[in-house]
């Protein structure tokens, strides 16, 4: 696939993988993107997962014909992008590898060598001349590893964005970009909003016409849409007006309360209501929803004087990613000593700029008329 006359896609699709990074469900697989920049000199941008060594090396050969690459630019050392560094350098013994100082330290950890005789250490603002174009390197620490850098091609006005602007799904998957990019961002990058904001400021100074990430499609049109989403996500802003309800239920009574609340929210004009059963849904989808919407209802049972394990995991996932700037409501259930609301509020003690609703709902075993009145009041408050 030609990105431009001189930039060629040489990545691979992985349709066999079931869990990305061992935890994220990827029903439509994942793409490991790599690119060849062909000029007077040739740079290969990143490698691919270890399971695709032969296919990737064949892609390079098919793209270059009789020519050989001069450089391998390594933007990110996570193994789905770096696993074939050593295989590449064995296949092309005259090529040099370009990366950050920290990345070379990681290469020594992964491969037992830092390629001291074949390396070019890239620092902030350094350039690499390929002939008719220069590549400029910008460090992007903790987006989402400390060694990360991104690369700007001044001729074709391409930002090679490492894991930034990536998404789940193989390139031949027919699916909405924002949904899977959002799940990818909040699952993998979301903790590092401050660092993403710093990178976006660097990118704002560049004339960018295309974005080439390490996962997902090349972005060539309406770049403002993607950049605006990344700005919202990384600043912990509210993307969509609505309420997400996340719940656990043992015998169905808490679920019944959630269903009543969801209907009341719709009746009172809430533009969007999303419900996640934390025991059964994809946890990463629930986390994505929590960051997408401005209001969240957490409903769970008291369990061993604590809260149900799936809810504890969910709240820990939110806290780990810096959850803030949201309105939070609680529904608790407990047959003799309900304490779930107290526990959940305590878990958010160090979270910034969270507003708790005035109305809460306390169920003792089963939903009664008083609970329905409480749910009504909560729905009205959330729909203001």
- Average pLDDT for residues 321-349, to the nearest whole number? 96
Query: Which ranges of the chain would DSSP assign to H, the alpha helix?
Result: 53-64, 79-82, 85-91, 101-111, 177-184, 193-204, 223-234, 253-267, 283-292, 309-320, 340-347, 369-382
pLDDT at residue 152 in the model = 98
**CATH number corresponding to 7-234:** 3.60.15.10
Indicate the CATH number of 241-382 among 1.10.3720.10, 3.40.50.720, 3.40.50.300, 3.40.50.360. Answer: 3.40.50.360
Whether 217 has a pLDDT exceeding 90, the answer reads yes
Question: Could you tell me which residues come within 8 angstroms of residue 122 by beta carbon, excluding any fewer than 6 positions away?
Answer: 98, 99, 100, 128, 137, 149
* pLDDT per position as a tens digit, 82-123: 999 999 999 999 999 999 999 999 999 999 999 999 999 999
- Average pLDDT for residues 182-204, to the nearest whole number? 96
Structure tokens at 296: 């969240």
158-160 vs 149-153, strand pairing mode: antiparallel
| d(C-alpha 268, C-alpha 377), whole Å | 11
Q: Is residue 128 classed as helix, strand or coil in its secondary structure? A: strand
The pLDDT confidence band at residue 1, using thresholds 50, 70 and 90, is confident
User: Does residue 144 have a cis peptide bond before it, meaning omega lies within 30 degrees of 0?
Assistant: yes
Burial grade of 306 (CB within 10 A; 0-12, 13-18, 19 or more): middle
* pLDDT per position as a tens digit, 270-285: 999 999 999 999 999 9
The pTM for the full model equals: 0.93
* pLDDT per position as a tens digit, 240-270: 999 999 999 999 999 999 999 999 999 999 9
| d(C-alpha 23, C-alpha 270), whole Å | 33
Domain residue extents for the chain: 7-234, 241-382
Q: Is residue 282 classed as helix, strand or coil in its secondary structure? A: coil
pLDDT at residue 55 in the model = 98
Phi, psi of 22 (to 5 degrees): 75, 5
* pLDDT per position as a tens digit, 294-311: 999 999 999 998 999 999
pLDDT, mean over the chain: 97
Q: Is residue 53 classed as helix, strand or coil in its secondary structure? A: helix
Q: Is residue 352 classed as helix, strand or coil in its secondary structure? A: coil
User: Which residue, 319, 384, 314, is CA-closest to 352?
Assistant: 319
Question: Could you tell me which residues come within 8 angstroms of residue 340 by beta carbon, excluding any fewer than 6 positions away?
Answer: 300, 301, 302, 303, 307, 308, 311, 330, 332, 333, 334
CB atoms within 10 A of CB 184: 26
pLDDT at residue 143 in the model = 96
Q: Sign of dihedral through CA atoms 224, 225, 229, 235?
A: positive
**Reduced 3-state DSSP string for 161-207:** CCCCCCCCECCCCCCCHHHHHHHHHHHHHHHHHHHHHHHHHHHHCCC
Structure tokens at 225: 């849409």
């Amino acid at each position: 696939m030609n990105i431009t006359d001189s930039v060629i896609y040489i990545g691979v699709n992985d349709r066999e993988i079931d869990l990305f990074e061992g935890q994220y469900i990827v029903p439509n697989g994942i793409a490991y993107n790599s690119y060849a920049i062909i000029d007077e000199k040739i740079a290969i941008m990143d490698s691919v997962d270890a399971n695709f060594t032969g296919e990737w090396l064949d892609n390079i050969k098919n793209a270059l014909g009789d020519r050989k690459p001069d450089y391998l630019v390594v933007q990110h050392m996570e193994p789905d992008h770096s696993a074939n560094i050593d295989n590449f350098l064995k296949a092309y013994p005259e090529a040099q590898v370009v990366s950050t100082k920290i990345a070379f330290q990681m290469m020594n950890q992964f491969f037992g060598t830092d390629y001291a005789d074949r390396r070019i250490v890239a620092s902030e603002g350094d350039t690499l001349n390929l002939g008719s174009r220069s590549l400029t390197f910008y460090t992007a620490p903790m987006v989402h590893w400390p060694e990360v850098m991104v690369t700007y091609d001044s001729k074709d006005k391409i930002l090679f964005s490492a894991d930034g602007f990536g998404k789940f799904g193989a390139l031949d998957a027919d699916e909405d970009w924002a949904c899977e990019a959002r799940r990818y961002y909040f699952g993998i990058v979301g903790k590092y909003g401050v660092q993403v904001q710093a990178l976006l400021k660097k990118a704002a100074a560049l004339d960018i016409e295309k974005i080439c990430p390490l996962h997902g499609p090349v972005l060539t049109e309406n770049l403002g849409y993607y950049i605006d989403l990344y700005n919202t996500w990384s600043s912990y802003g509210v993307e969509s007006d609505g309420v997400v309800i996340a719940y656990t239920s043992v015998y169905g009574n808490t679920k019944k309360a959630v269903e009543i609340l969801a209907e009341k929210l719709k009746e009172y004009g809430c533009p969007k209501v999303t419900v996640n059963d934390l025991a059964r849904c994809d946890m990463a989808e629930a986390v994505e929803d929590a960051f997408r919407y401005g209001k969240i209802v957490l409903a769970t049972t008291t369990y061993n004087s604590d809260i149900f394990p799936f809810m504890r995991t969910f709240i820990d996932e939110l806290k780990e990613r810096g959850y803030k700037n949201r309105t939070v409501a609680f529904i608790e259930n407990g047959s003799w000593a309900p304490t779930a609301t107290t526990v959940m509020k305590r878990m958010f003690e160090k979270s910034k700029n969270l507003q708790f609703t005035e109305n809460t709902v306390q169920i003792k075993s089963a939903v009664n008329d008083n609970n329905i009145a409480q749910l009504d009041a909560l729905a009205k408050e959330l729909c203001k």
